[in-house]
Structure 1
Amino acid sequence: MAIGFGWAGAGSTTLYIESPLEDTVSELAWSPRANALAASSWDGQTRIWDVGASGAAPKAYVAHDGPALTCTWTPDGSSVVSGGADTFARLVDVNTNAKREVAKHEEPIKAVRFVVCTGGTVLVTGSWDRTIKYWDLRQQQPIGVLDIGEKCYAMDAMANNIVVATSNRKIHYINANNPATISETINSPLKFQSKSLAIFPGNDGFALGSIEGRVAIQYFVEGTKKNFAFRCHRTTKVINTVNCLAFNPVAKTFATGGGDGEIDIWDKDKRSKLTSWTDLGNAVTAMGYNSEGTHLAYATGYDWSLGSTGMDPSKKPKIAIRKLRKDEKYCR
C-alpha cells in the first residue's frame, strides 16, 4: 500500500510521490468529483491518492497479474477501473477498497474509458486483441464487441464520441449510440506510430502524438482548414516520442510530455507554445489535469525508447503534482 508525501518545502508549488512506485507509470487520471489521483503502473498496481493542502494520502489500490496499462474513474467518482496486461479490467471502490473484475479480453487491455450511449453510461475497453468491448458494470459479459482491425494503441472518449488509434496507423471514430459500427476511419495524419491521443474539451476534435516527435490537431469536421501538425520534443539530432497529451478542461490549453523529460504547454488555436518545463529528470510518461484545471499531475520514468541499454536504475519513477501559475493555465 502507498504512503503519502507532502508538498516539497514551504510555499512549494509541487508535490512529489515516489514510493512505493517500482516501475514506470502508464496513465494518470483525476477524479471528476474531487482532488483524488489514480496512477496505473508497469509494476502491476493502480494506486489512488487523495490530494490536499497537506499532501497526498493513500486511498485505495488494485493489483494485476502483470503491468497495469491504463486507468479511469467512474463518472460519479466513487471507483476506479484499471486495465492490465493480464487481459482483465478491475474496479476498485475508493472508499471501501472492494475490488471486482469488470472486463476481459484475449490480450492486454490498453485503454479504458466511460461513454454515454442510448442505454446509459457504459465502460469501453480497447485491447491488443483488435477489439473494443462495451460493458454494463452490472453484467459479467460484454454488451457489445467491435472489431477494429488492429491493436488498440491509444483511445479516448467524451460524451458519446470514441476515438481509437490502431497499430496500422488508422484512426477510427465511433458513436456510442451506434456502437456496433465504426462511423468513420481515416489514415493517421502522422507518418509514424501513434502513441498518445486526447479529445478536445469542446468534444470537436482531438490531438494525436507519435513516436517521431510530432502532434496532429484534428477536427471531426471533414476537410476543415483548422487541421495541422507540428514538431515538438526534438532537436536537430534527437527525436523523442510524444508519450502523453492532456487538455486543461477549464483553460482549453494542452500539454505534451516527451521522452526528452520535458513538458510543453500549448495554445492550439493560436498555434503557439506558452511555456516549457525542462530537465524533469526522466521521460514524461503520463499526465493529467484535475477537473478545475488548477493542477497538472505528471509522471516521469524510463519509457524504454532506447531498449534495456538506456535504463538508468538510479532514476526512480515518480509522480509530481504541480499547482499551475496563471501563465501556465491561460492563453496569452
Structure 2
Amino acid sequence: MTTSTSWPIQQQIKPRPPEPYPFVGAALEGHLLAYVAVKRSKGGDIPMFAFESGGAEECGLMEIRPDGTVAPEIANLSPTKFVTLNDPALRQDPVGQPGPLRSPSGPVPAPVLRTARALAARQAAAAGNGRSVEAFMTEVLGLWRGARWQEPVSTALLGDWVGSLHTDGRVGPGALEYLKAETRVLHRQMTPLWERKVNGRRLWGLDFALGDGLTVYDVVAGGPDPYEMLAGTVPDDPRVATVLNDLTPAERAVAMAWADSQVTSWTEAASSIMALAPAQFTGLDPAALGERVRRKLKRLGARHTALAAAAAAQRWERA
C-alpha cells in the first residue's frame, strides 16, 4: 500500500534541468552582466543576462545565443523586481516572468555589448563554430582573419578569462581586457620562433632567400668568421661572394654575426662586431649599423632575384 500511494506523487515531480551558471539573486554591483535565467529552445539553451539599460523602471536583458550572436531586449521591470521574480527559491520555471519584452530604444553600452559578444563567441568556440569565432575576433578584437589568430582566440575564449561567471554568475568590466591579454600571450607562444619579431624586427631563418638561390645558411656554412671579414676576407662560395662583395668589410662582419643562431637581433650582431675592433667603429651606433646592414641585404637580395629572373627569361627566349 505504501508503494502504491507514493508512486502517483512521485510521478507529479518533474526534474528541473540544471542551469548553466550560478544565480545569486544579487544586483549587478559594478558588473556588466549578471545571469538571471535560461530560455529553452529547440536550437539549444539560451542564457539570459541582466545589464543596466539606464532606465529606473526597466531592466536590460541580453540573450547569448548558441550560434555566437547576441540579442539585447528591455523588460519593463526594475532590475530589483526582475531579480526577485527569478529567485531560485520562488520561481517554478527557470525563465521566470519578465513580462513583455521590447527592443532597446537606444544603443546598448559598448562594454556590455562587446562582453556579451565574447560570451557568445565562447559558446561558439566550444561548439567548434569557427565562423562565429572569426567574426568576433575581427569585429570586436580587431584582429586579422585566418588561422594565425583564430587558434589563440579560440583557446583564450575557453580559458578562465571569465572565471567569475562560474562562481557567482556575473561578468566584470575587466573580463574582456583579460581575454585580449591572454590572446596575445597565446599568439606569441604559438608563433614559430623564425616568425617572431625582436625589437620590432622579424627574425630570419637559415633558409631565408638572399636571391639567386642563395640562403642565409650558405653564408654561414661557406664563409669565414666575422673577425676575418673585418680584414676584407670573403667566402669561397661565389654565390655568397656575389652578395657580400657589395658590402663593406664591417657590414659583412655584421651580416655573418647576425647569421649566428645565438644572435637574436641586428643590434646585437652589430654590438658583437663593434666589440671585436672598437677603433674601427668610433662614433657608430649598434642599432643604426645593424639596421643599415639589414636594409642593404634586403635590397641586394631583391636585386639579385630580379637579375636572376631576367637572365632566366633571356635564356628562355634564346631557346
TM interval, short-chain normalised: under 0.3
Q: With the length of structure 2 as denominator, give the TM-score of the two structures.
A: 0.27
* Larger fraction in helix: 2
